[in-house]
Amino acid sequence: MNKTLVFGGSGQLGQCLQYVAQERSFIDIVFLPEEQANILNQETLRATFEQHRPAYIINCAAYTAVDKAEDEVDLVRKVNRDGAENLARLCGEFGTTMLHISTDFVFAGTGNEPLLETDETAPISVYGLTKLEGEQVIPTHTAQYFILRTSWLYSEYAGNFVKTMLRFGQEREEMRVIWDQLGTPTYAVDLAGALLHIIESGSTAYGLYHYSNEGVTSWYDFAVAIFELGGLPTRTVPIRTAEYPTKATRPAFSVMDKTKAKTALGLAIPHWRASLVECMGRLGEDSI
């Protein structure tokens, strides 16, 4: 029996996994209640592994408040590094395959070529650093892992850029949005589908992968597309990063090359705008 356990199931990606699993009739998957899903509680984690004996786990649990992370370094490291290590250690012990989510923030973002899995990492924020530390500690405990780096995650669930822009677009005549940070928006439903595809395929092509939607855009162009598809007349003004200072520094260029994921894992990856259209079609007024 190939049971899958999901940690962090109440977050954005976890909710997308619930949706996709139901759509695909992916039955043998358990979204753990909060009391069993604390990745920092080693005793509870061990009891959970002993109870379920999972073939796979998906770790969606992370500290993702990028700016707040600059002031809570110890807590961020506990969640993003130590939590990943706790899970990896048990996966190695129980023969469980670990699927783990990481981020484009492991890169400095100073280049202009699509980033490969083998490119040098140089995080410029606490969030990026601790996620990289999580990546690095997993292989020390298990060889059966898939780490997927993703970027600019959004969906109809939880809080994210798309829902924020739609809300502001209804409230404001003008939005000033950064145009000199380039990357790729990723529909979390697509990422959830990719994770379940890996499990369903039984792949043993373990390792580190990049997964985002296809294409390249800026936050400004992303916002323009959201307003356009949402039928909102909001005037969008492009600004430079320097005009909108934040506590944490973001990569200026974090477009990731997905060739490895497409060839080794057999993933078909849609363009970001096509996925945005799909998400917008499913967003109701009450979810904005």
The residue behind tokens 């995080």 is 123
Query: Which entry of 19, 56, 63, 127 is annotated as an active-site residue?
Result: 127
The Cβ of residue 161 has, within 10 Å, a number of other Cβ atoms equal to: 16
- DSSP annotation string for 86-117: HHHHHHHHHT-EEEEEEEGGGS-----SPBPT
CA atoms within 13 A on the CB side of 69: 23
244 assigned to active site = no
Q: Which two tokens stand for residue 165?
A: 């822009």
The Cα 152–Cα 281 span in angstroms is: 19
- Helix pair 219-229, 272-282: axis angle to 10 deg: 40
The Cα 287–Cα 194 span in angstroms is: 24
The Cβ of residue 154 has, within 10 Å, a number of other Cβ atoms equal to: 25
The Cα 62–Cα 81 span in angstroms is: 9
The Cβ of residue 99 has, within 10 Å, a number of other Cβ atoms equal to: 22
Which residue type does 80 have? N
Please tell me what DSSP assigns to residue 5: E
Beta strands (DSSP E) in the chain are: 4-7, 29-31, 56-59, 97-103, 145-150, 153-154, 174-178, 182-183, 186-187, 207-210, 217-218, 235-239
Which residue type does 84 have? A
Q: Which residues are tagged catalytic? A: 127
